[in-house]
A and B are shown apart, each in its own frame.
Chain A
Amino acid sequence: QQQVKQSPQSLIVQKGGISIINCAYENTAFDYFPWYQQFPGKGPALLIAIRPDVSEKKEGRFTISFNKSAKQFSLHIMDSQPGDSATYFCAASTDGSSNTGKLIFGQGTTLQVKP
């Protein structure tokens, strides 16, 4: 019940296209859903995050869509660029408004954007 399932495992998109990564969870107590971007040999960088009181959040080319009833959330990268090629992790936590919330990570998606 603590798992976060992420798909696809890998994704190839042409430059300018839309990259879509999906995550699903079971624990309805999760209340904070961040997405992280990780380049090889580097630590994850926070991209965008959402809480369950909204269904969508957009920051630049990155959008999170959140479906509370389906217990799913997704990351959309618009106008994908070769520089977006990286591994993306979704995550979820309970008690997300405090320091104590532990992040449960998805398995990761390796995105390759072809020029």
Chain B
Amino acid sequence: GAVVSQHPSWVICKSGTSVKIECRSLDFQATTMFWYRQFPKQSLMLMATSNEGSKATYEQGVEKDKFLINHASLTLSTLTVTSAHPEDSSFYICSASPGDGTQYFGPGTRLLVL
């Protein structure tokens, strides 16, 4: 149980384009999902907290107009990287909580912006 999926697992795009990443909780409902970014050999950096049906809460320093988050249902949250640039290249990971404080992570999405 407690499986979280992400799609796509990797994506390559041209600079200036937008990329959408989906995060789904497959076997539980998640009123809250979290989006993280991870650079090579570094820890996870929380970008935003996403609550179903409401606006996401962004961490300090994260541009909300750059990283659009939508949590349309209890099992789906999306992260859209708008007008992507090479510095946005990273490993993006989502997590979902079934309501007990536990966070289950997705497999991650590797984004490369050329």
Residues of A participating in the B interface, judged by any CB pair closer than 8 Å: 32, 34, 36, 41-46, 49, 89, 93, 95-103, 105-108, 110
Can you list 5 A-B contacts (CB < 8 A)?
A: A43-B107, A89-B44, A98-B101, A101-B101, A107-B43
Q: Which residues of A contact B42 (CB under 8 A)?
A: 107-108
Extra A-B contacts (6), CB below 8 Å, given A34-B102, A99-B30: A44-B105, A46-B105, A95-B101, A103-B44, A103-B95, A107-B43
- Residues in B lying within 8 Å of A, measured CB to CB: 2, 4, 6, 30-32, 34, 41-44, 46, 49, 51, 93, 95, 97, 99-108, 110
Number of inter-chain CB pairs below 8 Å: 63
The distance from the CB of A29 to the nearest CB of chain B, in whole angstroms, is 13
Instruction: Find chain B residues with CB under 8 A from A46 CB.
Output: 2, 102-105
